[in-house]
Amino acid sequence: MQKLLAIVAAILGGWIGWWLGAHRGLMTAFVLSMVGTGAGMYAWRRITEHYLR
């Protein structure tokens, strides 16, 4: 279940990054999507370490 929720967090982070970057252009949206994906994965990792263990 943790891996599934990590994927969901990565997708949400990537979507938010894409949405923020889409106003500036395609490459900005792509870069911010990658940053958002990493941020979502990092945030989920921190949440699981703190609350679920």
3-state per-residue secondary structure call for 39-52: HHHHHHHHHHHHHC
pLDDT at 1: 79
Environment class of 49 (CB within 10 Å of its CB; exposed 0-12, middle 13-18, buried 19+): exposed
pLDDT at 39: 96
pLDDT tens-digit readout, 3-31: 898 999 999 999 999 999 999 999 999 99
- For residue 51, name the pLDDT band (cuts at 50, 70, 90): confident
| pLDDT beyond 80 at 53 | no
pLDDT at 17: 96
Q: How far apart are CA 11 and CA 36, in angstroms?
A: 9
